[in-house]
Structure 1
Amino acid sequence: MREPDDLSGLSMFVRIVEEGSLSAAGRALGLPKATISRNLALLEKRLGAPLLIRSTRALSLTDTGKRLFDRVRPIVRDAQQATAEVKSHQAAPSGLLRITASVAYGQAAIAPRLLSFMRRYPAVRIQLHLSDGRVNLVNDGYDLAIRMGAIQDSELISHKLADITMVIVAAPSWLEQHDMPRTPADLARHTAVVMRPDMIQWRVGGETVRVPWRMSTGNMMVTRDAARAGLGIALVPEFLVLRDLERGSLVRLLPDLELPAIQATALYARAVSQSVALRALMDDLLASRPIEVDAAPS
């Protein structure tokens, strides 16, 4: 009959070698030196070969012991990590999560999910910061960032949450004073309200057009409000202006031409990837991708 593999004995052997002595291994494992010595002897008996040469000053590996140590050390490490992961999955999410999100998408899509998440996990605390400004996830102390648009930091773990449909809009008062654009090139004869001054290259119907800007807001919701006030045309997420389009306070321009969607993405550092609370939240956010948004608050 095949003997069962002695993983506990191999794990103890690896610890003895790493600690440099039976006594040090015993202290690390919280076991008497006699127990460590007895288990090592049982392992050597099972394998039919000595693994360590014992002296009064130090331990040294036999050739067989060195080959065994080199082979089983990564296996023991993988087994320990797997055990730790299983244990952490069984723990109830708790503690503080610091989250930053884009204002419009965070308010319309993410905040409702966080409220539901916190009802399920009462031991979790969340500090939510809504901002369209660029943040440094690690330096600013955030566990999770949810951003719209291009992602530049490749060192972070990223998960796509949704594709956001974009639209070009203007107020009726603006269109009363300016010709209705019929082609992408016509947009260059209008003035735009933008979130940042560098956001003036618009891809419309397969063409790229440069639209001069009049106001840079730093915030998508203010961009919408400025367009609604008749200060210029704007390229904004569709969910942000659905109610305005229904009421007629904004008009969609070039509706038959395709605009590239922008991506909503969740980002976090590898250092916090083992957080039970963060993992539970990410499971919740990713369970129902894409995260739908009916309309943003007006």
Structure 2
Amino acid sequence: MLDDLSGLSMFVRIVEEGSLSAAGRALGLPKATISRNLALLEKRLGAPLLIRSTRALSLTDAGRRFFDRVKPIVRDAQQATAEVKSHNAAPAGLLRIAASVAYGQAAIAPRLLAFMKRYPAVRIDLHLHDRRVNLVSDGYDLAIRMGAIGDSDLVSHKLADIHMVIVASPGWLEQHGAPRRPGDLARHVAVVTRPDIVRWQVGGETVRVPWRMSTGNMIVTRDAARAGLGIALVPEFLASRDLEGGSLVRLLPHLELPVIQATALYTRGANRSVALRALLDDLLASRPIEVDAAP
């Protein structure tokens, strides 16, 4: 039956190439084969599709209507075939990935190491920094961010919930006292990751804290608090060892703090990459991604 996909695909290629000879060259078939199959298709349909001349081909009215209807079908089928073939291919090639320093080092890097052992043909260019990257202009395949996303044109997948804690060193608390209620935080000096993160949501209240140092990095923020430079709002996983060891103290532990998200972001269409799809499947396979060790 010549009204199957191969027959429709051949007809579309003839029209797009503009001649039987050109279609034959594109498909790797003799012109006679193209001509014979076209004639059989027209016979089955009971209508001429093309007007043949020595110089060019032109569509009949029926041919134009038929072409307009079957072209999207052929394209969809070709894309579906390509996607299946691509999905079955082994992941390979280069992936450029940006991730926040703390979460990237503690949670993402161990997963990447295991991923690369499974797929030796994949190369990864990992960039750990806390600045917000533009995936298109900066040339990244994937970005992993903590906190608000704000990029509506990107595809996003939640990786984990990250619980926050307010901490200070024992020396700081001995000198300045421990806060008993959210409003008391405003009488302390804070170490922050960015100067605009000074309004903290604590127990349903918003408290504006004065800051002395902005670090640009959550690990440095934690270290500065541990050194006695002020109070800090950091991810719990980043402070867990210091809280257990006593070098940091959790403040207002009975009050609820916001939970932020770790999110994987990529541009629409980027998941056509077999390697990226495989990595996303791995990252999303066992959510939430647990932190293996605090840096």
CA distance in 2 between partners of 1:149 and 1:226 (Å): 21
| Aligned-pair CA distance for 1:215 | 0.3
Q: Does 1:49 align with 2:47?
A: yes
Match of 1:35?
A: 33
Q: Does 1:115 align with 2:113?
A: yes
Map 1:53-202 → 2, pairs under 5 A: 53-202=51-200
Match of 1:16?
A: 14
CA distance in 2 between partners of 1:32 and 1:5 (Å): 20
1:236-293 residue CA offsets vs partner (Å, 9 max, x unmatched): 1000000111111111111111111111111122343211111111110011111011
On the 8 A contact 2:225/2:232 being kept in 1, the answer is: yes
- Between 1:115-124 and 1:177-186, the stretch displaced more is 177-186
CA distance in 2 between partners of 1:116 and 1:159 (Å): 20
| Aligned-pair CA distance for 1:4 | 8.2
Match of 1:237?
A: 235
1:207-238 residue CA offsets vs partner (Å, 9 max, x unmatched): 11111111000100000000001101111100
- Between 1:268-277 and 1:203-212, the stretch displaced more is 268-277
On the 8 A contact 1:243/1:295 being kept in 2, the answer is: no
Q: What secondary structure sits across from 1:199 in the alignment?
A: coil
CA distance in 2 between partners of 1:72 and 1:190 (Å): 70
Letter in 1 for 2:205: E
* TM norm structure 2: 0.96
On the 8 A contact 1:241/1:295 being kept in 2, the answer is: no
On the 8 A contact 2:107/2:293 being kept in 1, the answer is: no
How many residue pairs end up in the alignment? Answer: 295
CA distance in 1 between partners of 2:2 and 2:259 (Å): 56
| Aligned-pair CA distance for 1:152 | 2.0
Taking only aligned residues, the RMSD between alpha carbons, in angstroms, comes to 1.4
CA distance in 1 between partners of 2:259 and 2:87 (Å): 35
Q: Does 1:260 align with 2:258?
A: yes
On the 8 A contact 1:174/1:231 being kept in 2, the answer is: yes
On the 8 A contact 1:239/1:294 being kept in 2, the answer is: no
Identity %: 85
Q: What secondary structure sits across from 1:236 in the alignment?
A: strand
| Aligned-pair CA distance for 1:108 | 0.6
* TM norm structure 1: 0.95
**Any stretches of 5+ residues in structure 2 without a counterpart?**
none
1:20-62 residue CA offsets vs partner (Å, 9 max, x unmatched): 2212222222222211111111111121111111122222222
CA distance in 1 between partners of 2:79 and 2:22 (Å): 22
| Aligned-pair CA distance for 1:5 | 4.9
CA distance in 1 between partners of 2:35 and 2:131 (Å): 60
Letter in 1 for 2:216: G
CA distance in 2 between partners of 1:39 and 1:150 (Å): 58
Letter in 1 for 2:76: D
CA distance in 1 between partners of 2:168 and 2:2 (Å): 74
Letter in 2 for 1:210: R
